[in-house]
Amino acid sequence: DQQVKQNSPSLSVQEGRISILNCDYTNSMFDYFLWYKKYPAEGPTFLISISSIKDKNEDGRFTVFLNKSAKHLSLHIVPSQPGDSAVYFCAASPADRGSTLGRLYFGRGTQLTVWP
């Protein structure tokens, strides 16, 4: 049962343009969301996060938007750079429910390719 879904396995964007990566979730207990970037043969690297009390969080070229009513979040990268080419994972953390509190639930990832 995939509780975090990234329905686009790939995205191709020209350098300098905006990249928009989408993520949907089904569990209303999720209250904290993260985006990770992953290069081949490396571990995921934390990019940006957002708590459910906010609807936007910005860090440099990266902005995450959260729409709780739609159970949807997105990551905007602007301007996109060739070095941004990687797999991007959306992850979610549930609110306090005892022992499941610590785990992250991941989507399957979206391969972003930024071409010159």
Partner 1 sequence: NAGVMQNPRHLVRRRGQEARLRCSPMKGHSHVYWYRQLPEEGLKFMVYLQKENIIDESGMPKERFSAEFPKEGPSILRIQQVVRGDSAAYFCASSPRLVTDRMIRENIQYFGAGTRLSVL
CA-CA distance, 89 to 106, in Å (whole number)?
Answer: 7
Nearer to partner 1, 51 or 81 (CB): 51
Distances (CA, A) of 54 to 13, 19, 44, 64, 105: 28, 21, 24, 10, 20
Nearer to partner 1, 53 or 70 (CB): 53
The least distance separating partner 1 from the CB of residue 13, rounded to whole angstroms, comes to 22
Binding site for partner 1 (CB under 8 A): 4, 6, 31-32, 34, 36, 41-46, 49, 51-53, 89, 91, 93, 95-96, 99-109
The least distance separating partner 1 from the CB of residue 113, rounded to whole angstroms, comes to 17
